[in-house]
Amino acid sequence: MTRRRGKSQPYRAAAGTSLSLSSPSLPFLLSTTTISRAPQQTMSLDHLILLSPPGELSKTVEYLKPWFTIVEGGTHADGLTANSLIPLVSGTYVELIHFVSPPSLDSSHWWGKKAPGHIDWALLGDLTQLQLDSFNKVVSAGGQSEDLAFDEGVKGGRKRPDGADVKWVVTFPGKGQGRGGVPFFCADLTPRELRVPALPSPHPSKTISVSHITLLTTSANYKPLKAYLEALQGSALSSTSTSTTFPLSSPNPLPSGTPQAEIHLRVPQSKDEVAYLSKRGTHALYELGFYTERDGGKEGLEIEGGTGSRFVFRRV
């Protein structure tokens, strides 16, 4: 994905459109033009983003190869970042991204000041102006800052290794929530299969789909973030005073017997989680879980490193 840039053309959809990666030891528009495309579901988990240290994407790829089949993605339109992808049969993918060169200390890039590890996540689709207005009214009625409202969509793109141009529009949450606590939206302006390649061969870990994503937040921010996600996602599956579970669908049908993904929002439960969150603000994407096949899949395996970002595997 690319960052929002001052020179980018804002885009508004037509109504009705619907590991330690830092450790050397772990190589681990407002436009009147209507763009024609098929409607896309807005609550499907599109992709998640794992940031490598600058210039070290290849190390991350090598570190993860024992568990995942990884496809080269390409260089983004701004030339600052490049990626590789972990495609899943569910249609969701994990984006492994790095800055080609270290970003400047005053970088305005969305992820320029992020620590390596899990940094962001996206839902599939775009928000129509009606949806934007409706959501932003909910935020306002709840007494929340207008900074939490979603901005208008911005176009982005990248060039694949085969020369194909991939184009999309992304809708980011207001800067009041930072990045990673709430998702952004991604909708394709070119065929989605250009952006999201098919899985060329089974993953060594027999991974099928995402089982859950875990978001950590402070006790003080728990209720506001829960209300924010409820306004966006709808009713929770379960909720307590310190944790809430939300449902997520997938872009593609899942194999029979494979549950849908979930969002687990909660306050830290251990000293390690408190330390992880303290380095990342009031909320952070902490853990990414995967469902694996009954036969030959990994179960209970955890991949983590100095950043504390985790991958876990569960058998279906």
pTM of this prediction exceeds 0.85: no
For 44-67, write each residue's pLDDT tens digit.
999 999 999 899 999 889 989 999
For 142-172, write each residue's pLDDT tens digit.
555 444 567 778 899 998 989 999 999 998 8
CATH 2.60.40.4320 fits 207-315, yes or no: yes
Q: What 3-state DSSP class applies to 127?
A: coil
pLDDT the model gives residue 270: 94
- CATH label, 10-195, candidates 3.40.50.170, 3.10.180.10, 3.30.360.10, 1.10.3720.10: 3.10.180.10
Q: Between residues 215 and 108, which one has the greater pLDDT?
A: 215
pLDDT the model gives residue 230: 82
What are the CA-CA distances from residue 163 to residues 64, 81, 160, 194, 229 (Å)? 26, 16, 5, 11, 38
Q: What is the DSSP letter of 32?
A: S
Q: What is the DSSP letter of 7?
A: T
Q: CA end-to-end span of the chain, whole Å?
A: 30
Specify whether the backbone of 206 is left (phi greater than 0), alpha (psi in -120 to 50) or beta: left
CB 305 within 8 Å of CB 26 = yes
Q: What is the DSSP letter of 150?
A: B
Percent of residues, the chain, with pLDDT higher than 90:
43
pLDDT the model gives residue 305: 53
pLDDT the model gives residue 129: 59
Q: Residue 2 — very low, low, confident or very high, per pLDDT cuts 50/70/90?
A: very low
pLDDT the model gives residue 310: 87
Q: Is the pLDDT confidence value at 39 over 50? A: no
Beta strand 184-188 with 117-124: parallel, antiparallel or unpaired? parallel
Instruction: In the chain, count H helices and then E strands.
Output: 5, 16
Sketch the domain layout of the chain as residue ranges.
10-195, 207-315
Domain 207-315 in the same topology as domain 10-195: no
